[in-house]
Chains A and B, each alone.
Chain A
Amino acid sequence: MKKILAFAAVAACLVFAGEALDVATMTEKDIAKLTYAQLMEMPLEDLMVLADKLGVSVDDLLNMKISVSSKKAMNTRESPGIISLITEEEIRNSGARTLMDVLRLVPGFEFGYDIDGAIGPGMRGIWGHEGKVLLLIDGQEMNELLYSTLQFGNHYGVANIKRIEILRGPGSCVYGGFAELGVINIITKKSDDLNGVSASVSASTMANDFGRTAVNFGVGKFFTNVDFSVTGTAGMANRSDRPYIDASDYYYGPESDAAKETFSNVNANVNIKDLSLRLIYDRYATRTSDYFDGETPVYNSFDGYYGEVKYDIAALSNLTVTPKVNIKYQIPYNFLDERYPYDRSALRFSGNTIANYDYSEKLNIVAGAEGYYDYATDRLDDPESVFGNDEKNISYYNVSGFAQGLLKLPHTNLVAGGRIDGHSAFGTAFSPRLGITGPFEKWHYKAIFSRAFRAPGIENMNLPSPDGTEITPERTTVFEVELGARPTDNMFLTLNVFDITITDPIIYFYYSDNDGNDVEWYENQERSGSTGFELEYRIKYGWGYGNVTYSYANPHITDKFDFFDKNKVPSYEVPGKENMVLGLPQHKLTLNGCWLRGSLSINPSLIYISQRFGSFGNGIIDKEKPSLITNIFVQYKNLLTNNLTAGIGVYNILGQKYDYLQPYYVVDSDLPPHPGPSREFTLKLSYDLGL
């Protein structure tokens, strides 16, 4: 009997051992259980059958290497920062008209109206227009140097963007004084992305006026040792088709052209082996309806020229040294109107060298040094229009050094680094960062402590307070904790909690004296900040993808601890509501989904912004109702002919009356809400031609 049992057992083993895997009947769950050994033994034919059964996953996004938070390419789960990553495909399918449409779907971002037609960003419940958020386009800092601002509105097109990496937390330890609250890093299409010629046009109309027209192009080609690309955009747009009534009750309807804007941009890049040259020209012109007593306002333009020469020296197999020099020349807030003339330029020369050293597979060190020289000029003929030094020119310089160590241990990455800046006018600023990140198969965690700062802009230093106190940098302390889960290959969920304290925030003051003269200055106040959390849920399947985000920010979450009473800046306060600041919402919910069916994509999106408070002019602070912006974009690839893509979309389907609020209150200078776009129908056509 024993012999029979033994024979049966051996026979059974032989039968099982010889049993081939039936790949045809395997389900996706069966495939997930296969070992590497089984997969490696499989014939290629079978492997392709299995690959056919697999769908797409969120891994494409999670594995994408980004360097915005650390200068070291890492995936989003490992990076020492709270990260959002937006791909070309997502931008294209969404039908986004401008960068602002893209950022609206990112947790924490909302926009406000500054002055002179400028729309700026708020981030995590903090107004970040002046020098708190850094925008990089292919490594070039776009913030203008006089006030350190960024102009969104209809400024930055998206047709030539390859990827956007967003650090939703401080980045001063790497980038210095503009990266206090966050960094938006835009990577445009390179030669290999274009590999030919592409062109696109878009046109839209709002309910009561035209919306936007734009022409975009891209040319790129790579050869054996040389590659080049040139991309560009030009067009005009309307900030709103709704009427605006200014603080003096003057009416500006669509016929006044008061909200018309123009934009143009050219970005050229040549790489000769490891040498890279880049030139960018950027122009944006907006208009303001304020202070013109009903007359048609003039353009307020922003011109910028950016140049970079960079060389990657692979000194050793594990050491890369990258020296680069940059030049940037800007003429921001150029207001050639005899009533309010402003014509100043700023020039920056900078040099930077970064060494990236892989000591071992576990230890990476990035270190570098940077220096810049700023030179500003008042270009008006008026001899009385001078800088604070009573001259037509003023200059500053800054030197900095930074270092960062990254230690990779099993399921744990430790990051420690810091940057020290020494400025000729405002002194030194130290920005350390300590972080720990832990990626596991199904989940990850991050805990980050950062100090950051905002470097005062040239005009901030030029307009000191009447008592003679000089401006110092804002200093910011941020704590962030993130937990992420990847319950299946197709889903990704993150939750982060943050606390931001800004000490010595730089605040603008203005009043009109008894003689009607403008008196304006900047001074450091006690503190501001916010506490909150952000939730993001992403899915990606063969049929499409989607994401849901929710963000919450509060300057005063409890009365129990003074630490959480963040805002002590009167001009940000909402009377009677300690848990809010002017202009920005406490809650934001976004939904974005894209269904893919062969050449067809249908992309609805929705943005809910909770109630906000803002100035309504003449000292009145009032409530703005919640807004629900719903959009849809339908796109078809290879329409009629190969390489032609057509899309139609409707923005603000419900026709909500969304307004841009001024997120601060200044006596004699407070502005009523500026209307945003109403329902807008848009058409886009793009054509790619290989060379």
Chain B
Amino acid sequence: MKKSMFLIAVFLALTVPDYTLAQDTKFSALLVYNFTKYVEWAGAPSAFAITILGDDPITDELKIIAEKSADVKITIKKVASLDQVGQCDLLFISPDKSNQLGAAIQKFPSNTLIVTNKDGLGKAGSAINLIQVDGKLRFEINPGSLKTSGLKAKPALFKLGKTIES
């Protein structure tokens, strides 16, 4: 029993809390918001239509950002299936719908920025893919996909993200 108590005590001592703060979803949404500033669309839209495919907590954060956006009008729409996605400037594909990426690229071949949030999808053709590296939020940028979509990214975006090819 003493051995058990010792093991439990060691475990609890190692789990003493600290005050690290983290707001991953909020910052993911802020990155998506920034992509609207750092990517150039043909015929620069005066209002941005962002569609989220699938259930993702980023939707609520993006709605808050859209409400507070003073520079440009942003509309947020959440849909359950790719068939329901209408014309939009930015399509965010949630991880649980990531197998729809290929179909999404085919459906929106140009002038729609496709953003994903799962390891490997940058290489699979997503223009921008949010990833975690050692617990830190990062993004991959696929210049080939951007070019195919007729989109141009500002050099700063390439500097801050990890360039990846299909």
Contact = CB atoms under 8 A, between A and B. Distances in A.
Contact of A273 (B23, B57, B69, B103): B103
A659 to B, nearest CB: 18
Interface in A398-440: none
Given A54-B137, A312-B81, A320-B80, A222 B34 contact: no
B44 interface: no
B23 A314 contact: no
Interface string B1-39: 001100110011011011111111111001101100110
Given A36-B64, A44-B38, A274-B83, A195 B120 contact: yes
Contacts of B20: 28, 54-55, 488-490, 541-542
A606 B98 CA distance: 36
Given A195-B124, A274-B83, A488-B17, A56 B30 contact: no
A690 B30 contact: no
Nearest to B22: A57
B87 interface: no
A190 B81 CA distance: 17
A621 interface: no
B102 A224 contact: yes
B157 interface: yes
Contacts of B38: 44
B75 interface: no
B22 A314 contact: no
B14 A541 contact: no
Contact of B14 (A54, A593, A596): A593
A491 B118 CA distance: 24
B34 A274 contact: no
A45 B158 CA distance: 11
A648 interface: no
Interface in A17-74: 28-29, 31-32, 36-37, 39-40, 44-45, 47-48, 50-52, 54-57, 59-60, 63, 65, 73
Contacts of B134: 542, 598
B79 interface: yes
A658 to B, nearest CB: 14
A487 B26 CA distance: 18
A596 B81 CA distance: 36
Contacts of A488: 17, 19-21
B3 to A, nearest CB: 7
B21 A606 contact: no
Given A54-B24, A541-B18, A591 B102 contact: no
Interface residues of B, number: 58
A526 interface: no
Contacts of B98: 192
Q: Which of B22, B23, B101 has the most CB of A within 10 A?
A: B22
A192 to B, nearest CB: 4
Contacts of B83: 274, 314
Given A36-B64, A274-B83, A51 B21 contact: no
A676 to B, nearest CB: 18
A39 B81 contact: no
Contacts of A608: 4, 8
A75 interface: yes
Contact of B23 (A52, A57, A548): A57
Given A317-B79, A593-B11, 11 more contacts: A40-B30, A40-B68, A55-B135, A65-B55, A224-B106, A225-B103, A227-B102, A489-B23, A541-B18, A606-B11, A690-B120
Interface of A: 28-29, 31-32, 36-37, 39-40, 44-45, 47-48, 50-52, 54-57, 59-60, 63, 65, 73, 75, 190-192, 195, 222-225, 227, 271, 273-274, 312, 314, 317, 320, 487-491, 539, 541-542, 546, 548, 589, 591, 593, 596, 598, 604, 606, 608, 628, 630, 654, 690
The 8 nearest A-B residue pairs measured at CB: A57-B22, A63-B57, A55-B20, A224-B102, A65-B55, A28-B21, A192-B99, A56-B135
Interface of B: 3-4, 7-8, 11-12, 14-15, 17-27, 30-31, 33-34, 37-38, 55-57, 64-65, 68-69, 79-81, 83-84, 96, 98-99, 101-103, 105-106, 118, 120-121, 123-124, 132, 134-137, 156-157, 160
